[in-house]
Structure 1
Amino acid sequence: MPNVHLTNPMQEYVQGQIKSGAYANTSEVVRAGIRLLMEKDGARQFYALKAVLEDAAAAVEAGGFSDFDPKAFEPDAYTS
C-alpha cells in the first residue's frame, strides 16, 4: 500500500489527535477516517434502498400492482 500524502492542516490535525491521546499513531487516525467513510457509504446505500421501497409502497397503495403468479414466473418449479 502506498504512503499517503497529507496536507499541512491534515498533518497538524493528525498530530493533535495523537498528542491528545485519542490515537496512538497516524495509521490509527487514517483507519478511523476510512471507517467513517465506509459507514457513510453504508448509510447512503440504506437511504437509497429506503427511497426505492417507499416508492414501491406508494405504488402499491395507489393500486399500481398485480397479483403474483409463482407458477407463471417459474413454471419449471411446479412440474413433477
Structure 2
Amino acid sequence: MPNVHLTEPMRDYVDGLIRSGAYANLSEVVRAGIRLLMEKDGARQFYALKAELETAAAAAEGGAFIEFDPRGFEPDAFKS
C-alpha cells in the first residue's frame, strides 16, 4: 500500500485530531475519511437515481408511457 502524503495544513489537522484523542493514529483518520467518501458516493448515486425516477415519473404523468403486459413480458409465469 502506498504511503500517504499530506500537505502541512493537513498534517497539522490530523495531528490535532490524534492529540485530542479522537483518533489513535493516521491510519484511523484515513479510514474515517475514506468511509465518508464512500458514504458521499452512495448518496450521489442515490440522488442521481432519484432524479432519473422523477424525470420518468413526470414523463409517465404526461402520457409518455405504454401499458405493461405481464403475460407478454413473462408468459411462462402464467402457464397452468
Scaled by the length of structure 2, the TM-score of the pair is 0.87
Secondary structure of the 1:10 match is helix
Unaligned runs of 5+ in 2: none
**1:49-68 residue pairs with structure 2 within 5 A?**
49-68=49-68
The one-character-per-residue Cα deviations of 1:16-56 (angstroms, maximum 9, x if unpaired) are: 00011111111001111101100110000000000001011
Partner of 1:19: 19
Unaligned runs of 5+ in 1: none
Q: Percent identity?
A: 77
Q: What is the CA RMSD across the aligned residues, in angstroms?
A: 1.4
Scaled by the length of structure 1, the TM-score of the pair is 0.87
Question: Could you list the runs of 4 or more consecutive aligned residues of structure 1 that deviate by over 6 angstroms after TM superposition?
Answer: none
